[in-house]
Amino acid sequence: VFGINKKKILPYGLPRLDKFLDENIVNSSKQKIYTNYSNIKEKNIILFAPTFRGSGQKTASYPFEKLDLNAIYELCKNENYVFLIKMHPFVRKRIKIPEEYKNYIIDLSDYPDINELFYVTNILITDYSSNIYDFSLLNRPIIFYTFDLDSYQIINKVHRPIREYAPGKVCTEFKEVIETIKNKDFETNKLNKFREENFSIHKKSASDMIIDNLILKNEKDD
């Protein structure tokens, strides 16, 4: 992506993901969420977790009008879903959810750890966020709601074309998102390809490889 010679890159992985699939962590996280939000336990969970719009923390926002709350409510009510919203930490404004929708649409933007939410999520809806790397390890469907696809790619200079690289269905209108969920048209073949291209199996954790190959090696060389 950045034109760097592959020999200059140390493929040791992300330490924060070393314990991501640890069974004890997964189970304890699920238990904590279901204890705090018991009404979602028997539901299929959709997590909406997009990145922000704007140039940075001071100007970050999200156009909530791009979500059709009535369509979400009807989908959830009829097909046993609950729709969780987790906005980027930079976005301080919260979405206004009508009272009659609150059993099906829940704003968890203040929940501290999105990875814990991933464990109970059946379908992730995002856009240009790097959270796809974490979530793809769970091998569950991802939908990309990119209503501003062309302008975002030009202004924000995405690393790779979304339509070519996204590990899931790309939708530019919210009605496409709803239909994708109803029809279960997730294009999971893209997810399989993404996982094959971006993840390798190592005998050691990322933390161990970094310590062995960078810290301890440097101390030995010194």
Helix (H) or strand (E) holding 142: strand 142-145
pLDDT band per the 50, 70, 90 thresholds, residue 64: very high
What is the model's pTM? 0.89
Give the pair of three-digit tokens for residue 57: 């923390």
Helix (H) or strand (E) holding 154: helix 149-156
pLDDT band per the 50, 70, 90 thresholds, residue 68: very high
φ, ψ at 137 (rounded to 5°): -65, -25
Q: What is the DSSP letter of 166?
A: -
What value does the mean pLDDT of the chain take?
A: 91
pLDDT band per the 50, 70, 90 thresholds, residue 221: low
- Helices 69-79 and 174-183 pack at an angle, to 10 degrees, of 10
